[in-house]
Every structure is written in C-alpha cells, then in structure tokens.
Homo-oligomer: A and B are copies of this chain.
Amino acid sequence: MNLSVKLGSLTLQNPVMVASGTFGYGVEYSRLLDLNQLGAVVVKGIRLGPVRGNPTPRTVEVASGLINAIGLQGPGVDGFIKKYWPFLSALKVPTIINIWGTTVEEYAEVARRFDALGGVGGLELNVSCPNIKEGGAQFGTDVKLLAGVVRACRKATKLPLITKLSPNVVSIAPYAQAAEAEGSDALAITNSFPAMAIDIATRRPKLANVTGGLTGPCIKPIAIKLVWEAAKAVKIPIIGMGGIESAADAIDFLMAGATAVAVGTANFYEPQTVLQVIAGLREFMQQRGIDDVRKLVGSVQVAK
C-alpha cells in the first residue's frame, strides 16, 4: 500500500503532517509520540530575529474551537538553529519551517538563511502577517503582495516552497493561482480565521490582543470548501488543514482535493491524533482495497 506523496521535490512517507504553531519545535511532543512516524514536522513560525509575542491571555476556548493570538513568539533564525535544529535535523522525517516577515526582503532573507542551513525539508510561507511597508495590508489578502513574497522567496531558495494561504478572501482561487504562478511548490490551506470573544462580566475582550485566529473542528467545513475551490484552480499539491481530529476528517480533505493534511489544534487536546490519523487512513484504504493514497486525492464525486 502506498501512502507516500510528493510536495514538489519533497517526498513524504505519508500525507499526515502537523500544523505550524501547534507542535512547537517537535521536541516537546517527542516524549509522547514517535515523530519518525509522521509525514513531516512543521515548526512554529520563525522570522529573522526573536519575537516576544503578545501579552496574555493568548488563547480562549470557544464552541468546538480555539481562538489564539500568540503573536508569533519565537527565537528567530539564529535562536532556532542553535536551540532546535540539532534535534530536528536528526529526525528521519523532514522538517518544514514556517517563516514570516514584515517585508518582502525579510521573507527572502529568512528563506536564504534556511536554504544555506542545509537539510531543511521545505519552507512554508505564512502570509497572514501585516506588510509594514505597504501600510499594513496582509500579504495573504492582497494578490499582488502575495505574488511578490512568493517571487522573492522563490529566488532566494531552491527548497520546496509551500504558500500558506489566508482564508479571509472573497475567492481563494486567484491567490492559489498567484502562488502557483510564482513558483510555489505547494499550498497550505487554511490558516486561522479572524475572530473575537468578549467576557461580558468584565466587558473586556477575552484576548489581550483583542482579536485572534479561530481554529479547530469549528472551521473544518469552511476549510474543506476552500481546499475544494483551490484544487479546481491549480495543479500544485495542497496541504489541507482546519479542525482535523480523526482519519475521517483527513480523508474529507483528501477527497476535497488535498494531497496531504496537517493536524493542528487537536494536538493540544489529543497529542496522539496525528498517529491515529495515519493508522485510520491505512485502515480505511485496506478495508476498501485502495492501494495508493493518491487515488483518494480529489476523489469526491460531484454530479455535473
């Protein structure tokens, strides 16, 4: 039975990865599960320098979901390489590094640094951060800014490049196509949804940052729709994510058109989820005599 899939030149032993920001730098969960079973480890977003992140409270639980406003706390490129790369580079499965910046140049510079590091599985561009130079529009919600970021990173590295799209758009197709046209090897869909919660007793927002990003099972139906739309618009592979907590959820994404999937928020409440998804996917295929996971990709049957 073949479970392996490709994202550009990167081969994954199976299509099940973890989502950036929900799995730290791998090492934390390595005591609870064997990371070498995963398709890939994806680490928390990293920019050039260290980032303190937002004040607390940073997360709040909502119906079937979580809102977070961590503020991309992280050690920066050097801190990451020093502190986490020895562990990650010793894994048998690829590490994908989620990167960000506030200018196109910063994205490109981070990409160059990781290109030079050697051994990195791929880079995932998190484009849901405000562009400072262009006046704070998000890279991910402006097709031209998005194209610029992908173009610059494509020039900066030969590493497999994954563009992680923002869901916060009228139609995802033009963004998916722009990333593809600029040389992105794959797309990741979806990032979190802008959201807010209020504590009516104190009249204050429940997050210090006022707003945050909604993730978890509550967003799955929207994420499936986005993957399905994007898959019709591009030829490059899509990593589907948003609320996956079972093999059935993962198969939903595959059938909608994703080539791989990532488990995010579910790691927090059930760290075994990613292994359960892999096992469940294998079982599903066995039961139905499906010999190649790629046969599931985009296999939803829509009457014409």
Beta-carbon contact of B195 and A221 below 8 Å: yes
Q: How far is the CA of A255 from the CA of B222 in the complex (A)?
A: 26
Chain B positions within 8 Å of A299 at CB level: 203
Q: Which of A62-70, A76-84, A153-161 contacts B (4 or more CB under 8 A)?
A: A62-70
- Per-residue CB contact flags for chain A residues 231-251 toward chain B (1 = under 8 Å, else 0) read 000000000000100001001
Known: A203-B300, A256-B196, A284-B200. A221 touches B62 (CB 8 A): yes
Beta-carbon contact of B170 and A217 below 8 Å: no
Within 8 Å of chain B (Cβ to Cβ): is A2? no
- Nearest chain B CB to A272 CB, angstrom units: 19
- Per-residue CB contact flags for chain A residues 251-287 toward chain B (1 = under 8 Å, else 0) read 1100110000000000000000000000000001000
Within 8 Å of chain B (Cβ to Cβ): is A193? yes
**Main DSSP-derived SS at the A contact region:** mixed
Q: Which of A15-23, A39-47, A119-127, A204-212 contacts B (4 or more CB under 8 A)?
A: A204-212
- Nearest chain B CB to A57 CB, angstrom units: 13
- Per-residue CB contact flags for chain A residues 172-206 toward chain B (1 = under 8 Å, else 0) read 00000000000000000000011111101001110
Within 8 Å of chain B (Cβ to Cβ): is A9? no
Beta-carbon contact of A63 and B243 below 8 Å: yes
Contact of A170 among B168, B195, B218, B224 (CB under 8 A): B168
Beta-carbon contact of B301 and A203 below 8 Å: yes
Contact of A224 among B64, B195, B284, B300 (CB under 8 A): B195
Within 8 Å of chain B (Cβ to Cβ): is A169? yes
Within 8 Å of chain B (Cβ to Cβ): is A141? yes
Q: List 16 A-B contacts (CB under 8 A).
A: A63-B243, A64-B64, A65-B218, A194-B225, A196-B221, A196-B228, A196-B256, A197-B221, A198-B256, A198-B300, A200-B248, A200-B284, A203-B299, A211-B228, A217-B218, A218-B219
